[in-house]
Structure 1
Amino acid sequence: MNAQIKKIDTLVRKHLHQSKIVLMIVYGIPEKVLDDDIWIYTWNKYFFFKTKTVFIFKNDRVTDIIIFEYIFRIHFRDSFYNANHTPKYEVVKYY
């Protein structure tokens, strides 16, 4: 299991099926809310690393998680957890 899958797996184990209230207690108010079913949190590490974590809800519970990674504002890699797809974990590298 590579590092990106471990990172998304950790988030899945912590937050899958959690409610919006629990997620808000852990991470605070999301940076963006889309249609009240998609919450986006952004974290910056140093000057050139940026990570966006997207939590997708169904019936106010986390069902899917996506991590977007950027280096120098260039979209570098995506990591997905899709509950209803096979494989459940997927990493897409752009460079």
Structure 2
Amino acid sequence: MDKQIQKLKQYLERYLGKTKAQIYSEYGKPETISDNNIWFYDRKKIFFFKDEICFFFTDDKVADITVTEYVFGIPLHNIFYNKGQVPEYIISPVKYVL
């Protein structure tokens, strides 16, 4: 299994179904909140790498998670999970225009 998919799968196994309060207690205040049902968190890695984790809530519980990978602040890939679809996991390159 691809390392990017493994990363998303670990987040799904750990956080799917958790409440907003549980996510808040572990990650703190989100960097961005969209419509109160989508929370964004930045996870810095080594120097110029970071992941943006996006939690989607339904009825105040995590219903989905996506991860966007960045290098030098430029988004490279979005990693999605599509329950029951084929393929279940999708890695989509981000088209970045300067």
Q: TM-score, normalised by structure 1?
A: 0.89
SS at match of 1:36: coil
Question: Residue 76 of structure 1 aligns with which residue?
Answer: 76
Indicate the RMSD between aligned Cα atoms, in angstroms: 1.7
The residue number in structure 2 matching 1:38 is 38
Structure 1 gap segments, 5+ residues each: none
- Shift of residue 90, structure 1, vs aligned partner: 1.0
Q: For 1:54, what is the secondary structure of its paired residue?
A: strand
Q: Percent identity?
A: 36
The answer as to whether partners of 1:5 and 1:79 remain within 8 angstroms in 2 is: yes
Instruction: Report what 2:59 is aligned to.
Output: 59
How many angstroms does 1:3 deviate by? 0.2
* 2:91 aligned partner: 91
**TM-score normalised to structure 2 length:** 0.86
Amino acid at match of 1:43: R
User: Partners of 1:30 and 1:84 in 2: how far apart?
Assistant: 29
- The one-letter code sitting in structure 2 at the alignment partner of 1:64 is D
Q: Which moved more, 1:25-34 or 1:7-16?
A: 25-34
Could you list the per-position Cα deviations for residues 31-82 of structure 1 after superposition, in whole angstroms to 9, with x for gaps in the alignment?
1111110000012223311211000011111111110111112211111123
Unpaired segments of 5 or more residues in structure 2?
A: none
Distance 2:94 2:39 in 1: 24
SS in 2 for 1:92: strand
Offset, 1:25: 1.1
Query: How many residues matched?
Result: 95
AA at the equivalent of 1:13: E
Q: Is 2:19 the counterpart of 1:10? A: no
